[in-house]
Structure 1
């Protein structure tokens, strides 16, 4: 499966009846990572899809962390 965007990951989760919406983007991304891990540990997705999804989610989480830093230097 081609996992290039967060939307792709959402579609993968949706195939298993998993819908993640908490309201805060970073929290949504973190919960998606937990769900992806659970799918992998249950042998429902392969290692390649697991790795792609986790890398993408962690990159997006890092971007969210960095976007929250405004005015750190004065």
Structure 2
């Protein structure tokens, strides 16, 4: 997993599609969804960590723009 798109596809595989119309809000919601999946024990720790790093980076880049 290397991109925001990869994270979106991961979430989609669990039935979650996030589109709020605002990039920062989308990323924040994806983070919450990842947290829920990890807490439920559905997501592997390695996938969770990788996705969170990608989302944190994307959020930071979004705020710079």
Q: Given the two structures, how large is their TM-score scaled by the length of structure 1?
A: 0.84
TM-score by length of 2: 0.95
Stretches of 4+ aligned residues off by more than 6 angstroms: none
Q: For structure 1, list consecutive stretches of 5 or more residues without a partner in the other structure.
A: 68-74
Partner of 2:7 in structure 1? Answer: 9
More helix by share: 2
CA distance in 2, matches of 1:63, 1:7: 15
2:32 aligned counterpart, secondary structure: helix
Deviation at 1:16, TM superposition (A): 1.0
Deviation for aligned residue 1:45: 0.7
Q: Return the index of the structure with the highest Cα Rg.
A: 1
Give 1:1-74 correspondences, 5 Å limit. 3-67=1-65
RMSD over aligned CA atoms reads: 0.6
Gaps of 5+ in 2: none
